[in-house]
Amino acid sequence: MAQVDLKGKTIVVTGGGSGIGRATCLALSQAGAAVVVTDINFDRAEEVYKEIQAADGPASTEAEAGQLDVRDPARCKELLDDLASRRTISGLFNCAGVNPTNMPLVDTTDDYFDLLVGVNVKGTYNMTRAIIPHLKPHTGCSIVNVSSTAGLKAGAGLAIYNLTKFGIIGFSKSMALELGPSGIRCNAVAPGPIITPTNANVVAGPESVRAQADRIALKRLGEPEEVANVVTFLFGKGASYMNGSVVEITGGL
């Protein structure tokens, strides 16, 4: 199979300042895409933008960085409207997310619920709704959303996180049906335990890492780049008949 070629495409990444988002920004750029790195923390987005420049990919000079809180629908629309006024948008990677704190439902606060649902679900909704008018039909446009293995199998103490990640899968499949007739694809990835900064509270400590690795056929946790490679593939021509798919990236969890 030929290497993924994304030359001529502009792809927006949310949560691009660290972890899976950062790794995907770099991978997309190396595949030839002009990457728009967004993050709630502009300093982090700018650092990834500088990494893209330093890597000198095919479209590195066309990369951009922007501050974005995906919970703010007006800001999502503003960013995408401005971008669309200057270039053609080809894709969106909804990666911004908040990882869980393990707790019984009775101990869950409204603030915790609002944070997880606001970023994981409403953020994906806000960006998807705002970008659809800018995606030209039948030009190879694509949306990829981040779910999780927690969107496929529930866990005690993770009710709100499960709620958001199951929701992302349902939303992605609905968008695949709604947008598919226009040739716009929507897929989701469901990573297992990945070593990222935002996952630190889940995988902290060598004992925790070993315990999780024992549940995985490959006997190790995943790296952000291993998710990024799959996401990059989903934006390419090689995935042109993938629509409404949920790709597990778990090492055999």
Mean pLDDT in the chain?
95
Asked whether the beta carbons of 91 and 184 are under 8 A apart, the reply is: no
Question: Rounded to whole angstroms, how far apart are CA atoms 207 and 238?
Answer: 39
The model's pLDDT over 171-220, given as tens digits with 9 standing for 90+, comes to 999 999 999 999 999 999 999 999 987 665 555 555 577 788 899 999 99
Could you state, in order of their start, the residue ranges of all structural domains in the chain?
10-249
Residue 15's nearest CA partner among 82, 99, 102, 89 is 99
Q: Is the pLDDT of residue 90 over 50?
A: yes
pLDDT at 169: 98
Question: Rounded to whole angstroms, how far apart are CA atoms 82 and 92?
Answer: 15
The model's pLDDT over 29-80, given as tens digits with 9 standing for 90+, comes to 999 999 999 999 999 999 999 999 999 999 999 999 999 999 999 999 999 9
The model's pLDDT over 133-162, given as tens digits with 9 standing for 90+, comes to 999 999 999 999 999 999 999 999 999 999
pTM, full prediction:
0.95
Asked whether the beta carbons of 120 and 145 are under 8 A apart, the reply is: no
The model's pLDDT over 234-252, given as tens digits with 9 standing for 90+, comes to 999 999 999 999 999 999 9
Mean pLDDT of 121-125: 98
Helix (H, G, I), strand (E, B) or coil at 136: coil
pLDDT at 203: 53
Band (pLDDT 50/70/90 cuts) for residue 2 is: low
Residue 18's nearest CA partner among 222, 162, 220, 228 is 228
Q: Is the pLDDT of residue 88 over 90?
A: yes
As a whole-number percent, the residues of the chain with pLDDT over 90 amount to 91
Stretch (H or E) spanning 131: helix 123-131
Active-site amino acid positions: 161
pLDDT at 1: 46
10-249: CATH architecture:
3-Layer(aba) Sandwich (3.40)
Residue 234's nearest CA partner among 225, 243, 221 is 243
**How far apart, in Å, are the Cα atoms of 210 and each of 102, 203, 207, 214, 249?**
19, 9, 5, 6, 19
